[in-house]
Structure 1
Amino acid sequence: MGTNRRQVALLASLVVGVLLPVLVTAGYLYTRAVDQYASTVAFSVRTESMPSPIELIGGIADIPTSGSADADILFAFIRSQEMVETLDARLGLVEMFSRPEGDPVFGFDPTGSIEDLTDYWRRMVEVIYDPGTGLIEVRALAFAPEDARVIATGVMEESARLIDDLSRVARDDTTAFAREELERAVERLKLARERLTRFRSVTQIVDPSADLQGQMGVLGSLEGQLAATLIDADLLRESTRSGDPRLRQAERRIAVIEARIAAERRKLGQGAGGTGGGDYASLLSEFERLAVDREFAEQSYRAALAAHDQAQAEARRKSRYLAAHIRPTLAQSSEHPRRIVLTAMVGFFALCLWALAALVYYSIRDRR
């Protein structure tokens, strides 16, 4: 009689602990759970390095490679709260996920916080990432086929925007230093040219070197005339008296030529009575200093311009982009929730718990 009671109790516990949960689960799944539709999109982050001319000549060409670091960032971004907030503002995720009013288990409570929505997002959007190949597959669930595809499309668009932003930041970082150096070189060249222009405006001399050559020619001509006049005067002294008018005229001519030579030499900075900064020696020294500054500024500008062009070419040569090998799909039939699988799982775990509890009970009973 006691054995029969134990068997009845064991059978009752089996019904309550295993059969009842299975029936409740199956009843809910088949009567209240709303169908869910899946949309799948798959893509990868590609970094395409365009070959330089030297590499083309050598027959070496870069091929598109996967950006694993960018894919890691993208994997975290898709599951982040920022992605949820962005798509909620764009698409209205709360409205999409809270449509099944009679399904509190699989539906989203519209009064939930952004943290609740993020947790629910990670339940409804599965991200599969293969670090070896860099491929990312996203499966979005929703209670309407169109909503699932809209969510998958939004994920792909926001992912592409993130990769574009990362590429732009990397490009700006690559060219920022070269651009700053170019701007400094331009300002240095402008200042050097302004100083040289101011010098020419003040002195009214375009090129002191050319002007000096002209003055040297004048000085050489005067010295030649002086030598000829001295010879004529010597000849007159030998053939005439001391008071001869021609001799006095030759001496006056000599004095005028010598005075002119002295004045020209003072202008060239070679005389004893120079005019300070206005003599040709000072002007030529100042002009050469300004010319050297301008030449150095021009060389710096050319070097900075070449470095800037090279940095821009390097930034353009390496570009990131999102390559989608599976476009967002549109489901024709519902595959979720997996009612048979969920019911079988509940039954399996309930049976395991029931068996464990029965073993513990009989073990304790036998010891008594």
Structure 2
Amino acid sequence: MAGQQQIKEHDLNQINSPAEQGTKPPEKGAAPETRPGPNVVQAPSAKTSFPPPARPAGMRRRHVVLAISFALWVVLPVVLSGLYLYTIARDQYASHVGFSVRTEEIGSAIELLGGITELSGSSSSDTDILYEFIQSPQIVRAVHEQLDMARIYQRPGDPVFTLGEDTRIEALLSYWDRMVKIFYDRSSGLVEIRVLAFEPQDARAVAEVVFTESSNMINQLSAIARADAMRYAEEELARAEDRLKISNRSLTSFRNRTQIVDPSADVQGQMGLLNSLNAQMAEAQIELELLLDNANQSDPRVNQANRKIAAIQKLIDEERSAFGGASGLSGVTQYSELIEEYQALELERQFAEKSYLSALAARDVAMAEAQRQSRYLATHISPTLAETAEYPRRVLLMLMISGFLLLSWSIMVMIYYSLRDRR
């Protein structure tokens, strides 16, 4: 233990030796220099210099510019907008009207006796057409002609919410889109219209005109649909009638040319005559055979029987030759050719007659369907008369204006600081 303690003291003397540390030993009479230990913080001397203290924060020029820009970009427009909305802007009254397109199908006489009448839902195609019609120049022109939109919507001193001096159809249509809003539910087919005006009576009058013109449009669509259905049926009937007339004329021409009404019937008649002659021939031959049993060839009765048989055979030969051809204006024509031509003409006539009957029935059905189906406009909200001005919504407009201006000002400030930090 004593040896280890001497070794530690020797090591400490070497570490603290001034020669080993590169420092001069203290002179005689001078106080020995003391060095701090490794864990001792040396206090600064009086000669150590400190940085100057920070100056107190103050308003700089960019801060003033930002404050001025905020006042000019946000505060001033908001104040001016509020003054305009609450002192200059005219009150607006809303009138609402709601309707849907319905199709009524009236049954036949038997169904009517049973009290059956079918009411179908709204037609989406008709409602889509009506939706576009309410936003079209046609209805704007109709409202302007009936009510004078300049009288209703022009007000002095309010250039933002009122109609300007320009009353051309383009300007009226642009203003119409602002004052008339359409709400269309495609799932149910219900349409609701909101009309704004500066007087409640004017708003309701405009809504009534919109409903009337919309009803007229639906009636026109119904009339056009009925006219189209009837026109197609009439055209088809006319074509079938012309085809039947042509086939009848062809058949009449064939009969006039061949002097045969019906070759098939004519052949049947000739076959009946030929069968009768064959029967007479058989009977005459039997009589001759019986006569020869009791008389000789010189008997006058035998000669008479032979002449009878010869006459019958001549007629049979003539009738048989008639089956091979018939005398006409153009010479001898084969009966088979006549029958083939007649059958083709008769078949065409039958087809034409059936087509005519089908077209006639289709025309009757189209006429009945046109009378059964009827489109009309069913109202579920009649044009309302407002008692309180709901528009313009000043609080909402103020919030929207303030939010937009504040957002735009914040974006410009961020852009300014990002550019400033890059320099």
- Please point out which of 97, 122, 136 is paired with 2:191: 136
Shift of 1:117: 1.5
Question: Cα distance 1:215–1:144, how it changes in 2: closer, same or farther (>3 A)?
Answer: same
For 1:324 and 1:260, the matched residues in 2 are separated by 89
How many residues of Structure 1 are paired with residues of Structure 2 in the alignment? 349
Q: Which runs of 5+ in 1 are unaligned?
A: 4-8, 53-60
Task: Report matched runs for 1:253-332 at 5 Å.
Answer: 253-267=308-322, 269-270=323-324, 274-275=326-327, 281-302=336-357, 320-332=375-387
Percent of aligned pairs with the same amino acid: 47
Partner residue in 2 for 1:191 = 246
Which structure has more relative contact order (CA 8 Å, sep 6+)? It is 1
1:96 is aligned to 2:152: yes
Whether the aligned pair in 2 keeps the contact of 1:48 and 1:320 (CA below 8 Å) is yes
Aligned partners of 1:187 and 1:205: how far apart in 2?
Answer: 25
2:95 to 30, 39, 42: 39
Assess, with a 3 A threshold, how the Cα gap between structure 1 residues 63 and 112 changes in structure 2: closer, same or farther: closer
Q: TM-score, normalised by structure 2?
A: 0.61
**Distance (Å, rounded) in 2 between the aligned partners of 1:121 and 1:225:** 102
The one-letter code sitting in structure 2 at the alignment partner of 1:84 is: V
Structure 2: which 5+ runs fail to align? 1-57, 60-64, 109-116
Q: What does residue 58 of structure 1 align with? A: none
- Map of 1:14-163 to 2, 5 A cutoff? 33-46=89-102, 64-97=120-153, 99-163=154-218
Give the whole-Å Cα distance in 2 for the aligned partners of 1:167 and 1:318: 8
> How far off its partner does 1:147 sit?
2.9
Q: Do 2:326 and 2:335's aligned partners in 1 also have CA atoms closer than 8 Å?
A: no
| 1:40 CA drift (Å) | 1.3
Question: 1:46 touches 1:322 (CA, 8 Å); kept in 2?
Answer: yes
Change (3 A) 1:337 1:278: same
Counterpart residue number, 1:57 = none
8 Å Cα contact 2:93-2:391 kept in structure 1: yes
**Structure 1 residues 248 and 48: alpha-carbon distance in aligned structure 2, compared to 1, 3 A threshold:** same
Contact in 2 for aligned 1:145/1:330 (Cα 8 Å): yes
Distance in 1, matches of 2:272 and 2:67, equals 131
Cα deviation for residue 125 of structure 1 reads: 1.0
Does 1:227 find its partner at 2:287?
A: no
TM-score (normalised: structure 1): 0.68
Closer/same/farther in 2, CA of residues 239 and 77 from structure 1, 3 Å limit = same
Rounded to whole Å, the distance in 2 between the matches of 1:37 and 1:315 is 42
Deviation of the 1:300 alpha carbon: 4.0
- Contact 1:95 1:110 (8 Å CA) reproduced: no
Instruction: Assess if the C-alpha contact under 8 Å between 1:219 and 1:264 holds in 2.
Output: yes
Q: Computing the radius of gyration over CA atoms, which structure comes out larger, 1 or 2?
A: 2
- Whether contact under 8 Å (1:277, 1:283) holds in the other structure is no
Kindly state the Cα deviation for residue 136 of structure 1 after the two structures are TM-superposed.
Answer: 1.9
Contact 1:40 1:140 in 2 (8 A): yes
- How far 1:121 moved relative to its partner? 0.7
Residue 119 (structure 1) shift: 1.4
SS in 1 for 2:130: helix
Report if the CA contact (8 A) 2:106-2:372 is conserved: yes
Give, in angstroms, the shift of residue 124 of structure 1: 1.2
Displacement of 1:29: 5.6
Q: Which moved more, 1:169-178 or 1:315-324?
A: 169-178
Taking the aligned partners of 1:122 and 1:184, their CA distance within structure 2 comes to 49
Report if the CA contact (8 A) 1:40-1:329 is conserved. yes
Q: Which amino acid aligns with 1:227?
A: A
3-state DSSP class of the match of 2:213?
helix
SS where residue 121 of structure 1 aligns? helix
Contact 2:73–2:409, Cα closer than 8 Å, also in 1? no
CA distance in 1, matches of 2:407, 2:288: 140
1:142 Cα shift? 2.5
Shift of 1:49: 7.4
Distance 1:146 1:193, change over 3 A: farther
Matched to 1:100, the amino acid is: R
Amino acid at match of 2:205: V
